[in-house]
Structure 1
Amino acid sequence: MRAIGATQAEEAPGGSPRGRRAGFVPHNWRRFWRLVSRYMPKRLYARSLIIVIAPMILLQSVIAFMFMERHWQTVTQRLSQAVTRDIAAIIDMIETYPPGDNYAEVIRIAQDRLSLKIDLLPPAPLPAPGPKPFFSILDHILSEEITRQINRPFWLDTVGNSNIVEIRIQLEDKVLRVFARRSQAYASNTHIFLLWMVGTSLVLLTIAIPFLRNQIRPIMQLAEAAESFGKGRPTPSDFKPRGAEEVRRAGIAFLQMRERIERQIEQRTAMLTGVSHDLRTILTRFKLQLALAGKKIDTTALNQDIDDMQSMLEGYLAFARGEAAEDTGRFDLRSYLDKLGDEARLRKRGFTASIAGKPEVQVRPNAFSRLLGNIIGNAFRYAENIKVTAIHTRGALIVTIEDDGPGIPPERREDVFKPFVRLDSARQDVGGTGLGLAIARDIARSHGGDITLDESAMGGLKATIKVPA
């Protein structure tokens, strides 16, 4: 019973060696492809070259193998058969002469008619077999033919001289030494076939690589145009849909999408500008009526309400506009931080700033100034000490603002980026519209970057701005 149970357990799909091997093979296959994908080039141009070159190399390798295996081996075998047949005929002629006769006529016939140089040596043991050559197709085929047609002890040297093959055959009372040209027994013109394959491959690659580069260029230009649009920069002036039909359709779709987005932004801005204008007119009349009322009523609180409403309208309009119409230009971080240092002294705040890398960056200047102003303005409002660190590396700008204020709870840090959201604790937004951080993140994302909040080493809040520059 124990043996039967063991057999049944071994045959179970989940625990049997066969089942484990079945699960092991797909795992190894997936692991192999992950390894291949890790080392594969990531760019489209390099991958396209591999798609062109890999099948060509595979095809030519198969053709070369078939040629070497079939044609080359067949031709070499037929040549070796002919040489061995000539040697066998010479041996027959030698053995038909009476002992002691002169074999000069046989030597002449072999040299003039068969292109073989022969010598008859005194009886002696054959040399010891030499090492087999690494690529021994001639050695192997010629040995087989001598064994099959002559069937006598022999010694063969195919590597001593690159152009000559030496063969020694043990006869009854003498040793026959034969020198034959390698080309008589070996298909030596295969290099022409290999050179032809390599030459045609080079010609094909010379044509394919420029053509492929010309097809990839429109895709790269489309990617650059999309990236520029994501960073809020204008489309390159030389961009137009070109290339294959699919690429042209993608380029046209991108331009149409950009036009629709810009038109939507313009319509939203125009609508809110009209609303703002109408409300400003009402507020102006309201303020005029209060001024005409004179001292009959207390207008201080009403004027404060009007100012708050005016500030709210400006904030709404700025948020809706998002500074999207501004072109990119040079922004001097050092000059801007110096102005913030002067403002910090007026506010009696501790302020330190440092810049690593070039202080000039390519952004939308007014929008980026508004972004920094909103973040650092909040720090001035709620903290006593502020530290600003700017790192301008190749292609990226990272600005870090830290303070020693009350900070923001981790669960509320994303909420403060939502429009019109105010915090009831921590940082009390007693003024404003609750749009400062929303506008700041909107500007950062329009540049292709973002803003994140974290805990500062100074005890307050740490804001990190990352934008391409």
Structure 2
Amino acid sequence: MMFRWLKRFTPRGLYGRTALILVAPVVVLQLVVSFVFIGRHLSKVTTELAYAELRELAVISDVVDGSMTQGEALARMAPLLHRFGMGARFVEPGAMPDEDFIQWYDFSARVVRDTFRERMPQIAVLEFGSDNMVLAYRETALGVLRLSFSRRRVTVAAPHQLIVTMVAFGVLMTVIAFVYMRNQLRPITRLARAAQAFGRGHHMRYKPSGAVEVRAAGHAFLDMRDRIERQIEQRTMMLSGVSHDLRTPLTRLKLGLSMMEDSEPLLNDVAEMQKLLDAFLDFSRGAVEDEAEPVNPLDLVGQIVADAQRAGMGVELALAEGDSDATLMLRPSAIRRAVENLISNALRYGNRAEVSVLLTPRQLRIRVEDEGPGIAEADREEAVKPFTRLDPARNQDRGSGVGLGLAIVADVASIHGGRLVLGRSERLGGLLAEIVIAR
């Protein structure tokens, strides 16, 4: 619960999360090692070197403090300066800088300065120049003495060598690990693409590969896909066979009843049975009768509305917005059947229907609105189930059905990797049915 806010900053993709898992421990390890190395080992070594240099400076200081003139002091210091590898000269007070000169990133120089301040307060200013020389200004009774010595006497020669080596090998090993991990993730991404394509009604070639667990998941997916395809095929064959086989006896029954007197009620019943069989056949075909192909959804929906208007239906195209040249992989017959079902459903319970189509870079939305009584929010989930009729909630006098209209639409949307959304129309006050398909 307390770390839920971190989800906003974590990558959403598998590659991004894997890279984070690989990089984060390496970075944390390097930071910890660098802190321990700089804070303990490097600081301790630098302090010891500063102590050694301070002892030599103390000898020089004793010589200066025991001299009467600057010339005498320089003459007495000369042998010591040669032995210690130092340089010394007296300067004017105005030549001494006002403050220390240390680069902001120079950790070792700060340790040396603090050690000098603690053990020899007489040293007023320290300068760590770019020429690897250190200038120490000491105020004496004879004037300001400037001592110069090599930086290598008080600091480690290459304090960053360990850190640079560690960072370089850390980056190298991270790259190698990421390349290896990428090869392990490719089978997972291929499995995800195959599953996504199957969810949208496409049959993508897929061969399990990768680690044992990924192969097992791939074989399970192939078995599942085969079972689903067999079930769809068996459902289609069963319903198609039943519907087709019943057409012949119904035709004979209709012919026999037409020769009888007062057979109008019976003929109506036969016609109703014929309508139910047609609904069963439409449901059995679903969206599998045609293959997906590039389709311009704006043109397709416009043609559907134009055909409905020619048939005398009270429907109009309220909105058609999007790239007029864009195409999507759709099953045109299935989309046509779904939109026509929504239009018929809208006109069954209302006097007019409005169709809208919106194509964005991320999704396709086909909306049908009517001015009927709509469907209560509590009944919308039940309404899309096959053979479900909500006539008491709608208007039963306007027509009858077998309860497959919305089920067929939901099935078509699902085959395209989308969904059917039911709501209430803000403009017309009736039902709002929307097919949403991701691009």
Q: Deviations over 1:178-198 (max 9, x none)?
A: 211122122241132232223
Whether the aligned pair in 2 keeps the contact of 1:269 and 1:321 (CA below 8 Å) is yes
* RMSD, aligned α-carbons: 3.5
Whether the aligned pair in 2 keeps the contact of 1:356 and 1:392 (CA below 8 Å) is yes
Instruction: Name the CA shift for 1:86/1:216 in 2 (closer, same or farther; >3 Å).
Output: same
Whether the aligned pair in 1 keeps the contact of 2:22 and 2:178 (CA below 8 Å) is no
3-state DSSP class of the match of 1:449?
Answer: strand
Q: Deviations over 1:322-369 (max 9, x none)?
A: 233542123444254335334324426353443101354322211111
Shift of 1:372: 0.5
Q: Deviations over 1:224-267 (max 9, x none)?
A: 222222222222x3x33223332222222222111111122222
Letter in structure 1 aligned against 2:172: V
* Residue among 309, 330, 335 paired with 2:294: 330
* Residue among 344, 354, 357 paired with 2:309: 344
Alignment of 1:125-204 (within 5 A): 130=99, 133=102, 135=107, 136-146=110-120, 153-159=122-128, 163-169=132-138, 176-204=145-173
Shift of 1:407: 4.2
Corresponding residue number in structure 1 for 2:229? 262
Corresponding residue number in structure 1 for 2:213? 246
Alignment of 1:246-395 (within 5 A): 246-287=213-254, 290=256, 295=259, 297=261, 300-324=264-288, 326-332=290-296, 333-347=298-312, 349=314, 351-358=316-323, 360-395=327-362
3-state DSSP class of the match of 1:347?
Answer: coil
Corresponding residue number in structure 1 for 2:184? 215
Q: Deviations over 1:399-438 (max 9, x none)?
A: 2222334544555544443333251464325344232222
Alignment: residue pair count: 428
> Which one is further off, 90-99 or 69-78?
90-99
Corresponding residue number in structure 2 for 1:427? 395
2-side partners of 1:206 and 1:176: how far apart?
Answer: 54
1-side partners of 2:136 and 2:341: how far apart?
Answer: 96
Corresponding residue number in structure 1 for 2:87? 117
Instruction: Name the CA shift for 1:75/1:352 in 2 (closer, same or farther; >3 Å).
Output: closer
2-side partners of 1:202 and 1:337: how far apart?
Answer: 57
1-side partners of 2:361 and 2:320: how far apart?
Answer: 14
TM-score between both structures, scaled by the size of structure 1: 0.78
1-side partners of 2:285 and 2:273: how far apart?
Answer: 18
Instruction: Name the CA shift for 1:388/1:467 in 2 (closer, same or farther; >3 Å).
Output: same
Whether the aligned pair in 2 keeps the contact of 1:322 and 1:443 (CA below 8 Å) is yes
Whether the aligned pair in 2 keeps the contact of 1:265 and 1:321 (CA below 8 Å) is no
* Residue among 15, 33, 51 paired with 1:45: 15
Whether the aligned pair in 2 keeps the contact of 1:319 and 1:435 (CA below 8 Å) is yes
* Residue among 431, 440, 453 paired with 2:409: 440
Letter in structure 2 aligned against 1:423: D
Whether the aligned pair in 1 keeps the contact of 2:334 and 2:412 (CA below 8 Å) is yes
Instruction: Name the CA shift for 1:425/1:79 in 2 (closer, same or farther; >3 Å).
Output: closer
> Which one is further off, 392-401 or 459-468?
459-468
* Residue among 57, 62, 67 paired with 2:37: 67
1-side partners of 2:357 and 2:348: how far apart?
Answer: 21
Letter in structure 2 aligned against 1:141: T
Shift of 1:90: 3.9
Instruction: Name the CA shift for 1:176/1:342 in 2 (closer, same or farther; >3 Å).
Output: closer
Alignment of 1:76 with 2:43, yes or no, is: no
Shift of 1:56: 1.0
Corresponding residue number in structure 2 for 1:462? 432
2-side partners of 1:167 and 1:444: how far apart?
Answer: 82
Instruction: Name the CA shift for 1:460/1:166 in 2 (closer, same or farther; >3 Å).
Output: closer
Instruction: Name the CA shift for 1:358/1:99 in 2 (closer, same or farther; >3 Å).
Output: closer
1-side partners of 2:143 and 2:426: how far apart?
Answer: 102
TM-score between both structures, scaled by the size of structure 2: 0.83
3-state DSSP class of the match of 2:19?
Answer: helix
3-state DSSP class of the match of 1:64?
Answer: helix
Instruction: Name the CA shift for 1:125/1:304 in 2 (closer, same or farther; >3 Å).
Output: closer
Letter in structure 1 aligned against 2:243: S
1-side partners of 2:97 and 2:135: how far apart?
Answer: 14
Instruction: Name the CA shift for 1:353/1:362 in 2 (closer, same or farther; >3 Å).
Output: farther
Instruction: Name the CA shift for 1:118/1:99 in 2 (closer, same or farther; >3 Å).
Output: closer
Instruction: Name the CA shift for 1:171/1:303 in 2 (closer, same or farther; >3 Å).
Output: closer
Q: Return 5+ residue gaps in structure 1 as ranges.
A: 1-29, 148-152
3-state DSSP class of the match of 1:190?
Answer: coil
Letter in structure 1 aligned against 2:406: L
1-side partners of 2:203 and 2:68: how far apart?
Answer: 104
1-side partners of 2:157 and 2:264: how far apart?
Answer: 109
Shift of 1:116: 0.7
Letter in structure 2 aligned against 1:427: N
Shift of 1:373: 0.8
